[in-house]
Amino acid sequence: MEVLELWEKNLMRTKSQRTTEAYLRHVKNFLSTTQILDEDSLIKVSSAQIFKYADSANLGPTSMLANLSALKHFFKFLLRREYIDRDRFTDIEQAIEEIREELNAKKNPNYPKALTKEEVDRIFSAVRGKRYEKIYSLFLYSGIRLGEFEHLSRNNFYLDKSGILWIRLEPYMTKRNKGRLAPVLAPNRNETYSVTDKLLKWIENYEENFSVKRGVLQVYTDRLSKRLSIPFSIHSFRHTYITNLVNSGFPVEVVKEFAGHSNIKTTIETYYKFSQRRAEELVRNFLTG
C-alpha cells in the first residue's frame, strides 16, 4: 500500500533504523492478521479490530505493548495526512490505551528514574556551549514530551508578571489532544530565574538554537548516555522535572496538569511514592511556616 511506503519514509526521518524496522514489522503483522489488504479497508479500521487483534495475538505483555506503540504511531500518521478523521482515530486510540492499561497492570511496576543532581551536572558539563545544552535545558525545566517539542516555536512562550516563563501547548501538540500550560521551573527559586533568563535569550533565535530532527536528537542522546555511563533518555528530563515538582510540595492535581497526565492515578502511582526525606521536609516547613 502506498500509505505504508509514505509512513516508512516518515519513520526513516524521525526514528532510528531499529525502531523503523520494528514498527513496520508490527504494523504489517496487524494488517495481515486482520486481513486489511487495501487502503479502502484500512481507513475503516475500528476499535473492535484492535481488540480482536490483541486478544488473538500470541504475544507477551511487553511485545504487545511494543505493537500498540507502533499502531498508535501509524494511525496518528494517517490522521495527520487526513486518511482517517479525528473520530475514527479517537476510537482507535481509546482501544489502544485500554489494552495498554490492562497489560501494564499485569507487569511489575517499573517506575521512571529521575536524574540525580550529579548526573544532571555531568550531562550538562558534556554539552556546555552546544545547541544540546539549550535543548536539554528546555526539556529538564519544562517537562515537555519529545512529541510536543517538535511543534514548538517562539510564539508558544510567554513571561508572566512574576517572572515565570510559561509554554502554551495547543491541543494538537499534546499526547492526549488537550492543551495545557507548562511553567519553566527548577528545584529552587534562584535557579528558576537563572534558567528563565537563559531561555529568554535563546528563544529569541528559536530556530537556530532549538531546531533539530527528532532522530538526530535521540541518536545523540543515546550515544552521550553510553559515553557518560549514565542511563538516560530525553524522557528522563521529564521524569526529573515532575519529581522536582513533587519534592517541592506541589499538590498532585497541579502536578497532573503541568505534566499533562490524562489520569491523576498516573501521577499518584508513578511519582507520589513515599519519601522519608520529603515527609521530613514537609513537617519542618509546617512547623516553621
The pLDDT tens digits of the residues spanning 178-194 come to 899 999 999 999 999 99
In the predicted structure, residue 274 carries a pLDDT above the cut 80:
no
What is the number of H-type helices and E-type strands within the chain?
16, 3
In the predicted structure, residue 108 carries a pLDDT above the cut 70:
no
- Which of 72, 73, 70, 79 has its CA nearest to residue 28? 70
Looking at the chain, which residues constitute the CATH 1.10.150.130 domain(s)? 2-106
H or E segment and range at residue 93: helix 86-106
In the predicted structure, residue 58 carries a pLDDT above the cut 90:
no
The class of domain 2-106 in CATH terms is: mainly alpha
| Amino acid (1-letter code) at residue 217 | L
Instruction: Fill in the DSSP letter of residue 168.
Output: E
- 145-174: per-residue pLDDT in tens? 998 999 999 999 999 999 999 999 999 898
> Please, are residues 174 and 148 in contact by the beta-carbon 8 Å criterion?
yes
pLDDT score recorded for residue 105? 62
The class of domain 117-275 in CATH terms is: mainly alpha
pLDDT score recorded for residue 61? 84
Residue where the block lists cell 484492535: 50
Looking at the chain, which residues constitute the CATH 1.10.443.10 domain(s)? 117-275
Phi-psi region of 168 (alpha: psi -120 to 50; beta: other; left: phi over 0): beta
C-alpha 214/C-alpha 24 separation (Å) is 18
In the predicted structure, residue 277 carries a pLDDT above the cut 80:
no
- Residue 67's alpha-carbon distances to 29, 54, 86, 147, 183, in angstroms, are 9, 9, 21, 19, 34
> Please, are residues 237 and 226 in contact by the beta-carbon 8 Å criterion?
no
